[in-house]
C-alpha cells in the first residue's frame, strides 16, 4: 500500500472513531480511519451489541416459565446455545458491515493495521499487507479500552475468562464464578444464570454496582437472590487451582489478615474476571509527540476533545470516565466539528448510564447523596412500577422511578430508574436535564396511558406532593447537607 495523505486520520473504528470519521466526511474532510481489529471496535464486536443480544435471549427464555400466570402453557422448549451464538454473530456482522458502509458513504477510507504516532502529523501503520505511513493535518485518537487483569488470574478464555470469553460459551457453563460485581459482571452473570448456570459473584466493595444509588441496587440484589445467585460482598479473590479438571477459587473477607481459616473455597468450572477497564494508550507513541496523560493513564483533553498537542484529539474511553459508547460517539462528533471549523464542544449537562441487569437500570444526573453533598436541600419523588397498570399487565413490576430535585427551585437534578425498560425510559430523563427542566415540567407533561413512561410523570407529581396514586401525595424532603 502506498503512503497516504489525508486531512483527518482517525485511529480506531469503535462507536467514537467511526462516528468521528463519518462526521468529518460529512463536513467535507478527507478522512482515513485505521482499525487493527474488526470494524466497530469492542462495542459492536465483543461488548454492547453481542452482550445485549444474549441478554435479550436469556430474558425470552426465562419468560417462558412465567407464562402460566397468563394461562399460556409452553412445553418441549429447548435451548441450543451454539445456534444462539451463531445468531448473535449474525447481528454483529450486520452492524460491523454497516460501519464500513457508513465510512465509505461519507467519502472516508477504512484501512487495516496497528497505528503508532511518529510525530504530530505522521502515523506509521503496520498492516496485513505491510507497513505504510499516513500524513494527516489532524489526528483523532479513538483506541478504546481493554479489561483490567487481576494478578494471579491470567485470562486464557478456557477456564479464566474476560468479558469477551464470557460472551463466547457454546454450552451453558455448569458453574460460573464472577470476580467483580459491577455492571459487566452482573449483566453476564444474570444472563448465564437465566440460561441455567449456577452463578456466584465476588465483589470487593460493600455494594454491588458500586457508584449507583443504593435504593436502586437493592432492587437488583433482591432479584439476584430470587434467581439463586450467590453473592459475596467485601471479599477479595486470592488464587485459583485447576487440578484434574476441578477448578477452585479461594476468596477472603476484605481487610482480614492472611489466616488460612478465613479463606473460603468455591468450586467452579469457569471464572469470569470483570473488574473494570483500562485505556489503550501505551503503544500509540504519545510520549514521542508530547500528548499528555493523567496519573491513571487517560489522555488529557479539553471540552473540544483537543489534547496537549493542538492538532491531535482524543475521544471515548482513552480520555476517561464515563467509559460509555454514547459518550464516545458524541465526543467523536465534537472533534470532527471542531476540526472542520465549527463552534462545538462537549457540553452535555449529564451523560446517562444504562445497565442491562434484571431489572434494568437507567440513571442520569446527580444521585440523592451527590446532590446533598453539593449543598442542595433535596426533594425526592418516587413511583413504583408495582402501581402501574402497564407493568402489571406485563408481569414486570419490580422497581421504581426516582427523581431528585432541588427543594428550593424544584429544578430536576437527577433521575434514576430501576425496572422494566429502564434503559429506554432514561432518555426522557436525559432530555429533562439537558433542557433544564423543573418538576412541574415533567408533572404537567401529559403521558399516554397505559405506558411505562407514566412512572416518570407520577414520580414528578410525587415530588411535588401531588400524585393521585400515592398515599399522602408522595413528597419526601432530605434536609441533610
- pLDDT tens sequence across 228-241: 999 999 999 999 99
User: Using CA atoms, how far apart are residues 100 and 111, in angstroms rounded to an integer?
Assistant: 10
- Predicted pLDDT at 81: 98
Predicted confidence (pLDDT) at residue 303 exceeds the cutoff of 70? yes
Which has more pLDDT, 262 or 5? 5
Cβ–Cβ under 8 Å, residues 226 and 94: no
Asked whether residue 480 carries a pLDDT value surpassing 60, the answer given is no
In the chain, the N- to C-terminal Cα span, in Å, equals 63
Residue 261 has pLDDT above 90, yes or no: no
Please state, in angstroms and rounded to a whole number, the distance separating the CA atoms of residues 370 and 374: 6
Residue for cell digits 449474525?
90
Please give the backbone phi and psi of residue 442, each rounded to the nearest 5 degrees, phi first: -75, -40
For residue range 156-207, list pLDDT tens digits in order.
999 999 999 999 999 999 999 999 999 999 999 999 999 999 999 999 999 9
Q: How many CB atoms lie within 10 A of CB 424?
A: 14
What's the topology of domain 4-146+278-339? FAD/NAD(P)-binding domain (3.50.50)
Is the confidence at residue 57, as pLDDT, over 80?
Answer: yes
Predicted pLDDT at 243: 78
| Statement: 353-476 belongs to CATH 3.30.390.30 | yes
Reported as a pLDDT band with limits 50, 70 and 90, residue 125 is very high
Q: What pLDDT band is residue 1 in, cutting at 50, 70 and 90?
A: low
| Residue ranges of the chain assigned to CATH 3.30.390.30 | 353-476
Could you tell me whether strands 353-355 and 360-365 are parallel, antiparallel, or unpaired per DSSP bridges? antiparallel
Which of the four pLDDT bands, split at 50, 70 and 90, describes residue 297? very high
Q: How far apart are CA 161 and CA 290, in angstroms?
A: 36
How many residues in total does the chain contain? 481
Cβ burial, residue 123 (10 Å; 0-12/13-18/19+): buried
Question: What is the CATH topology of the domain spanning 160-275?
Answer: FAD/NAD(P)-binding domain (3.50.50)
Q: How many helices (H) and strands (E) does the chain have?
A: 14, 23
| pTM of this structure | 0.95
- 458, 383 in Cβ contact below 8 A? yes
**Mean pLDDT of all residues in the chain?**
95
Enumerate the active-site residues: 449
pLDDT of residue 481: 34
Portions of the chain given CATH number 3.50.50.60: 4-146+278-339, 160-275
Amino acid at each position: 500500500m502506498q503512503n497516504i495523505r489525508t486531512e483527518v486520520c482517525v485511529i480506531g473504528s469503535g462507536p467514537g472513531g467511526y462516528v468521528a470519521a463519518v462526521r468529518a466526511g460529512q463536513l467535507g474532510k478527507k478522512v482515513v480511519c485505521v482499525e487493527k481489529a474488526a470494524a466497530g471496535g469492542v462495542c459492536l464486536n465483543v461488548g454492547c451489541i453481542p452482550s445485549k443480544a444474549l441478554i435479550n435471549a436469556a430474558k425470552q427464555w426465562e419468560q417462558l416459565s412465567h407464562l402460566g400466570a397468563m394461562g399460556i402453557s409452553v412445553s418441549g422448549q429447548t435451548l441450543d446455545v451454539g445456534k444462539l451464538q451463531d445468531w448473535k454473530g449474525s447481528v454483529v456482522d450486520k452492524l460491523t458491515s454497516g460501519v464500513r458502509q457508513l465510512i465509505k458513504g461519507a467519502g472516508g477510507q477504512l484501512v487495516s493495521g496497528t497505528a503508532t504516532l511518529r510525530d504530530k502529523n505522521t502515523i506509521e501503520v503496520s498492516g496485513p499487507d505491510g507497513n505504510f505511513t499516513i500524513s494527516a493535518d489532524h489526528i483523532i485518537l479513538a483506541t478504546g479500552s481493554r479489561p483490567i487483569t487481576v494478578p494471579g488470574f491470567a485470562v486464557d478464555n478456557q477456564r479464566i475468562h474476560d468479558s469477551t470469553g464470557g460472551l463466547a460459551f457454546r454450552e451453558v457453563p455448569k458453574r460460573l464464578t464472577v470476580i467483580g460485581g459491577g455492571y459487566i459482571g452482573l449483566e453476564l452473570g444474570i444472563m448465564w444464570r437465566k440460561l441455567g448456570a449456577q452463578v456466584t459473584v465476588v465483589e470487593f466493595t460493600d455494594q454491588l454496582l458500586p457508584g449507583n444509588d443504593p435504593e436502586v441496587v437493592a432492587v437488583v440484589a433482591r432479584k439476584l437472590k430470587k434467581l439463586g445467585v450467590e453473592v459475596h460482598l467485601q471479599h477479595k479473590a486470592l488464587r485459583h487451582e485447576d487440578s484434574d479438571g476441578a477448578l477452585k477459587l479461594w476468596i477472603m473477607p476484605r481487610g482480614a489478615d492472611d489466616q488460612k481459616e478465613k479463606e473460603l473455597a468455591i468450586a467452579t468450572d469457569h471464572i469470569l474476571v470483570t473488574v473494570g477497564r483500562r485505556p489503550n494508550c501505551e503503544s500509540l507513541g504519545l510520549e514521542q509527540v508530547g500528548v499528555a496523560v493523567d496519573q491513571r493513564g487517560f489522555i488529557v483533553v479539553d471540552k473540544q476533545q483537543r489534547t496537549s498537542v493542538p492538532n491531535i484529539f482524543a475521544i471515548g474511553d482513552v480520555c476517561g470516565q464515563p467509559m460509555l459508547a454514547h459518550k464516545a460517539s458524541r465526543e467523536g462528533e465534537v472533534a470532527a466539528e471542531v476540526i472542520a471549523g465549527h463552534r462545538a464542544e462537549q457540553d452535555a449537562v449529564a451523560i446517562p448510564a444504562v445497565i442491562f441487569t434484571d431489572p434494568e437500570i437507567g440513571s442520569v444526573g446527580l444521585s440523592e447523596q451527590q446532590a446533598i453533598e453539593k449543598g442542595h436541600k433535596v426533594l425526592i419523588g418516587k413511583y413504583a412500577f408495582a402501581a402501574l397498570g402497564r407493568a402489571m399487565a406485563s408481569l414486570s413490576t419490580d422497581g421504581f422511578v426516582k427523581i431528585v430535585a432541588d427543594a428550593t427551585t424544584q429544578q430536576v437534578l437527577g433521575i434514576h430508574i430501576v425496572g422494566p425498560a429502564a434503559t429506554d425510559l432514561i432518555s426522557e430523563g436525559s432530555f429533562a436535564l439537558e433542557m433544564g427542566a423543573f418538576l412541574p415540567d415533567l408533572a404537567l407533561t401529559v403521558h399516554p396511558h397505559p405506558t411505562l413512561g407514566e412512572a416518570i410523570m407520577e414520580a414528578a407529581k410525587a415530588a411535588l406532593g401531588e400524585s393521585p396514586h400515592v398515599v399522602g401525595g408522595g413528597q419526601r424532603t432530605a434536609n441533610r447537607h
